[in-house]
Structure 1
Amino acid sequence: MFTLQMSILFLFGYFLQSCKVAGDIKIAIPGSSLSTNASLYAIWSVDRAVDGRIGGGKCGCCTAIERPCSLQLDLQQSYLVKRIVLKGRTDGAYNQFANITVYIGNDVSQMVEQPFSTISDLVQTYVLTPPQAMQAIIVIGGMSGKRDKDYMVICEIEVYRQQDCANGTYGPDCNKTCHCVEGPCDAVTGICGTGCKRGWRGAACNETCADGSYGTNCSLTCSAFCRNNRPCHHINGTCIEGCADGYDFSTDKTCNTPCDHKRYGRDCSSICSEYCHNKQTCHHINGTCPNGCGDGYDFNRDKTCNATCKNRKFGKNCLMDCNCDECHHINGSCAIFKQQCDTGFKMDKDICQPCERRRFGPNCSNECHCEQCHNVNGSCDLYTNNCDGGFRLDNGLCKPTEEKTTIELSHGELVGVICAAIVACVVCSVVTALCLRHRRRHQTSASNTTESCQGTAVSAYDELSPKTKATSHYDTLTITIPPTSSECEQIPKALQKAEEYERLQLNQKTVAATYEKLSPNLTTGEQYERLETC
């Protein structure tokens, strides 16, 4: 009766255990190797522990090993084991599981003791949570305390692994991922037999490519033009934050393609200026025109050539002067803005051109009076020292000659000249009166001399100036006149010469007086020296 009850209890427990572990996969033990270090009972060999049968002492399906002993089971490969079940005899061998210990591991040198989860006289179960990778199981049987022969009896060793993982997962409870090119990876190690997919590396193909690389075997290099120098996606090389300025993310996610023709900047959203020199395309990153700007646009202020010339400039590189307050930035036209030309320039075909060679001033209305002059102020000495006839160089300008006294004489000098002129007029009047008086005397003396015609030239000469003591009047009359009638006829001519000499002397005194007025700082001797030099 007791044996029947125990059998029913064993079957009921086995049923419950099977229900509990539904979904676990039993490892096929046949083919695995078993070994022991102790003596066996009769013919109860170790291979009976994995023959798939259970029963009593007469079934011939159990192994009995004399204690102390060990039984080692080597599986064909490593499995993620969830549960180990030891089953004993069903006919009342109550000490069969007494004082036994189970060790598990992949290497017999690194075995780990596994505590039991449930135990009875018939079944002993070890549940591994989470599942453990193992390839070997060792069961150690110590002495149970019996006095007679003491045996460890095991009818069956059952090992259960976890279910197969879906492709791309492995490990305990399939909680790890792998990225194989094809098929599943190893359930325990994750090793991909077919290699890794693009963007993955490592034995289990579960490590992304290092920053800066992507693709199959991580053999490709990310673009250097990912925005903010961020790394690209490890699989396809896409720049995570888009492209840096000058590269087109819309057509190439890897950011290796510069902006298309005539575009530049962030997302290639800016358009190149149409005023680049010779209509060239601009730089794809910053929009700079490579060879400068076309006429009328200022490259110094704006390298993208969108800024027109300013500050009265126009033309190539804005180097030409408008010569008016505002002109067209390309062709320099002042007329388009109804502007007047600057001084020294004249409108010619809507452009303010410099005056011609002999013209200057506002609207070129003034004449230089030299071959070429400055177009603004009329200065001739920049080009020549020769003025036209009737003009002379004065302070760089060619001016009429008569203007010199009026322009050059200071106020004091002008007053001095006027006073000198007045004094000269007075002196001339006095001298004229004296000369007339002197002439009358000479005429009377000559008449008397002619009538008498007696005496010598000396007496005739004395009659010319009977009241004058000065000897200067006789300087030119020191000649001897023979007392002949023909010679007497020449006396009037001598008198005329004396009169002319006296007039010359008076004129010299007048000029000297005038010169003294003009040069008051010179001594009298210096004044007369200058007169004599003249």
Structure 2
Amino acid sequence: MMAPVLRAWIYLLLSFLTLHTFSLSVSSCDVGWFGERCQYKCHCTNSSCDLQGECTNGSKCERGWFGPECQYQDLAVNGRILTLPLQERDKVLDGDEDTCHDNLQQMILTWSINYPLTWFRIKVLESDPDQLLNLTVLLKPHKTHDTTVINHPYINCSRKRTSFVNNRTVDVYCDVREGVQEILVYGAGIKTLCAVYVSGGRNVALKQTAWQSSTSASENAVASRAVDGKWLGQFQDNSCTHTDINDKTPVLKLTLSQPANINRFEILNRNDCCQRRLMYFSFETRSAKNDSVHVYRDAADAPQNSYTIVSIDPKEPVTTFTVAAHNEWQGYVVLTLCEVELYGDSACPPGKYGLECNETCNCAIKDDECFVSTGTCALGCAAGYYGDGCKQACPPHFWGVNCLSRCSERCSGSTCDSVTGRCVSGCQLGYKAPDCTEVCNPGNYGANCTLACPANCANGTCDHVTGSCVCKAGFHGASCSQAYSECCCNGTCNHVTGQCPLCVKGHEESQIPTCIRCEQTTQDTVIRDLFIALFIISLAVIVILVMILWRRFKQNWNVKRANQKVDAKQLKVYLTVRHQSGFPQKPSQSANNGVNQPTTESISQQRSQSANNG
């Protein structure tokens, strides 16, 4: 009875110890390192990384590094922008993604090393996604001091693929089989350009398995020092390898955990002494099939502090790197390496990406292989995701490929499924499920359009939100469920109140608010209506008579006024004639002589008598 229980407890205890031990091993990385085996160097400012390599405490990628986990070296960090005034160039290459342009038309960026361009990243303040995804990109293989755009021997970005990271960031991939030192980018998408990063690859040699043919017993300078991430060059710092002086053909071999496409080899020599030991060194890389891929032999006549060898067109991914010393100096052939860095990227199998090729692509199209560097996809992330690796779920109110579609405003709560766009809590009244972008079909209304319009609606249609409608003839009410009285309305009534605009002959409108009938008229109401009609007619006759009398009075008045004006004029003429005839008399003299001057009235009487005599 106790045996099964005891076994279960033992199993749980062992599981806990295993997980606890694993947790301690993962969290025991030295400061500045991360990963399951602490094999990746943190390139965040202040070395602030979590166990997955994400920058913490508000830190960001160190200047000269960018991309997922800040693992990609930036070739543009010491580059130049040729198309901008000198004071404006720092906005693009200052490492600050918040200093941006406001009206940039094009950009020409150049850097120092002739390098096979694989991909670059553009950061803007704001842009339309379609504009970001449709930039024009031209490349120039060889450096020139000509700073104009005209007549540049640019080549196309072969097999250009563009992936959307977020609404500020886009990655551009080119398949170029030659070295490039300059790019030209133009289009509306870079109007508010903030930053540009050009990938120089990531160091795939770091903390990989290292072996050397011999080790100096007195120095303990083991092979792993060549890939410990310390770019110091001082032997006393315990960062350099050293083979035994009796080893006549010393070599060091690196074995990569994942096949990788290598574009650049960086080898650090000692800078405190003995640099001539590395002169005329050689190296070779081999593929998983043991085919030789890269072969190099140094031919310089003088030693160097470090060596940079660029591979323009690697034939296939490699799994091993072997370097050998050949120069005999002071009687010995000794291989001393202070660091070996191999820059490129993992050659992940289809459908995989990441530093260890252990991440699964999450593309919108099944056959669209994601980019091994970022995990983003040329045809967009799977619906519901965006960002590096297409691992970030859509923010609230967005859905679809790259999370570029916005949830319908008619969703209840404005939230929807990030993959399908379906409104999670249903639609607002009057809109159809599942995405709530269309109004209800004719004949339906309400929540998710599940209600049928009232049966007595005209044409069978109603408001898609409330269900209200114009009733058929003979019905009224909010739902057109009440019929009008047959004796009441002359065929129709108000579709809401039921009131009759016109009653049938012999009936009048009821005072009842719903007015569902008309009452039959009585003799009293007929007499009342007759008196009202006679009163109106009488009033109209009186008004007409008053108007006629007024018009006659006004005409007589106008005639009298006209006659008075004529008499006054004749008097004036008479006085003028008398004066001219030599009978000037003052009014007082006329009065003393008993002669009366003619007046207006006498003249008028004389004119009247003359008229009668005539």
TM-score, with normalisation over the residues of structure 2?
A: 0.31
